């Protein structure tokens, strides 16, 4: 099983945090991500899941539009920046279908650290805005590995350009 984790694109500063919009740079980044992902992703992913925060919603919308796909967008609770990554890790450990998830740091960095079993957790991951991490689950959860066994399949840095 494959999971694609995309950190939202560049956003404008401000308060409240939940209402921060993508910057012009973030809109360009999101479109480039969408154009850069091919059929190998979209032929198996059935839905684009995202946090309820505006910058994540906008990133998901722009990726979808640029990829010219029909997959629906869906809010996934627990992807907010300070949400408990163990909850999301447990959800992913039980899933049977490929996933595409748009979220935030520090949640995503901690999630990747948990799934890969990194001793330093999030400290071992530098997850930049508009970067995409693809993980493959090799084995399901066990008593010793409650989130299963995962490996890093791909790391795509933020798209280049202004």
Domains of the chain, residue spans? 2-156
Q: Which residues contact 93 (CB under 8 A, 6 or more apart)?
A: 137, 140, 141, 146, 147, 148
The confidence band for 125, taking pLDDT boundaries of 50, 70 and 90, is: confident
Residue 161 has pLDDT above 90, yes or no: no
Instruction: Report the distance separating Cα 79 and Cα 76, nearest Å.
Output: 7
Write the DSSP symbol of residue 18: G
Residue 75 has pLDDT above 70, yes or no: yes
Residue pair 108/129 in contact by the 8 Å Cβ criterion = no
pLDDT at 118: 86
Give mean pLDDT, residues 49-64: 98
pLDDT at 120: 66
Instruction: Report the distance separating Cα 17 and Cα 121, nearest Å.
Output: 25
Query: Are β-strands 73-75 and 48-50 bridged in parallel, bridged antiparallel, or unpaired?
Result: parallel
Cα dist. 33→29, 76, 130 in Å?
A: 6, 20, 7
Residue 122 has pLDDT above 80, yes or no: no
Using alpha carbons, select from 154, 69, 92, 82 the residue that is nearest to residue 122: 82
Residue 47 has pLDDT above 70, yes or no: yes
3-state secondary structure of 81: coil
Give residue-wise pLDDT tens across range 5-46.
Answer: 999 999 999 999 889 999 999 999 999 999 999 988 999 999
Residue 147 has pLDDT above 80, yes or no: yes
What is the CATH code for 2-156?
3.40.50.1240
Q: What is the mean pLDDT of the chain?
A: 93
């Amino acid at each position: 099983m494959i999971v694609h984790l995309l950190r939202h694109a560049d956003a404008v500063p401000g308060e409240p945090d939940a209402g921060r919009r993508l910057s012009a740079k973030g809109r360009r980044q999101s479109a480039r991500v969408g154009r850069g992902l091919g059929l190998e992703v979209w032929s198996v992913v059935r839905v684009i899941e995202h946090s309820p925060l505006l910058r994540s919603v906008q990133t998901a919308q722009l990726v979808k539009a640029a990829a010219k796909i029909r997959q629906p967008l869906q809010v996934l609770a627990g992807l907010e920046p300070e949400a408990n990554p163990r909850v999301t890790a447990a959800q992913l450990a039980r899933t049977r279908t490929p996933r595409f998830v748009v979220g935030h740091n520090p949640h995503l960095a901690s999630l990747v650290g948990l799934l890969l079993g990194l001793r330093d957790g999030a400290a071992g991951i530098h997850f930049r805005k508009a970067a995409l991490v693809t993980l493959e689950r090799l084995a399901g959860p066990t008593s010793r590995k409650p989130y299963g066994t995962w490996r890093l399949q791909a790391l795509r840095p933020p798209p280049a350009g202004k």
